[in-house]
Copies of this chain bind each other. A is one copy, B any other.
């Protein structure tokens, strides 16, 4: 289990490196929140590029330090694009981030998520229901979980209920797993970090989960998956709380949040309230 002082130091370093290096992390992501993903990546200090076609996904992997694959609003061509991009990332030894949003909706999503198991994402991010469903689909949880427990894009489970699934996923991938909720859970299979903050207004704006996936990929270009995951989650929780202090309704809250992503210092991010537990 990592020491909190060490983890904070690693986070400060990662955040400083992101700001200094402006690293590019490409995405294949849904059309609902694609603008939010790109703008969150830029505000956090990184650079963004989005594509849909198979050879373009491979080029993104080559051009950037990490890549983000989000399963929302699938297009038919993704049948080729998604696995080829994940395979390219694995072959290049570059980290990739998976958001299994919508797991259980439609046959192509289930097929793709099953295929992606072998490419072992460096970071998986989802809400509790999505993480439980993915662990079930990948046969890591000891029982065949119901793929349909997510209601569209909403969760029906608590973060704590997904703890075992998250740990099992992290042990399988050798990377990190983020479970988003009231407080967020991050694990590398050894330690579990519970990160506090944010705001209930995050549930009244679409894309806080998706855009966090993009920011996770930005951080993953500069540090190990676990440090990247805690840094991005803390960055979001700090900024969500800061935005809620300025705005009481969704659209002004979203703008204040993106502003805060940009304005937060590495120390703000590292010092966001969190607890470390044994996995």
Contact = CB atoms under 8 A, between A and B. Distances in A.
Given A32-B35, A251-B39, A59 B204 contact: no
A39 B152 contact: no
A75 B60 CA distance: 16
B52 A75 contact: yes
Nearest to A107: B55
Interface string A36-59: 101100110001111111011001
Work out how many copies of this chain go into the complex. Answer: 3
A252 interface: yes
Contact of A249 (B154, B252, B262): B262
A173 B259 CA distance: 41
Contact of A50 (B39, B73, B107, B254): B73
Contacts of A107: 55
Interface string A238-277: 0000000000011110111111101100000000000000
Contact of A74 (B32, B33, B53, B63): B53
30 contacts: A24-B154, A31-B34, A32-B48, A35-B36, A35-B207, A39-B206, A42-B204, A42-B206, A48-B152, A48-B153, A49-B102, A49-B105, A49-B153, A50-B72, A51-B73, A51-B105, A52-B75, A53-B74, A53-B75, A55-B107, A56-B74, A56-B102, A56-B106, A63-B151, A249-B258, A249-B259, A249-B260, A249-B262, A251-B255, A252-B255
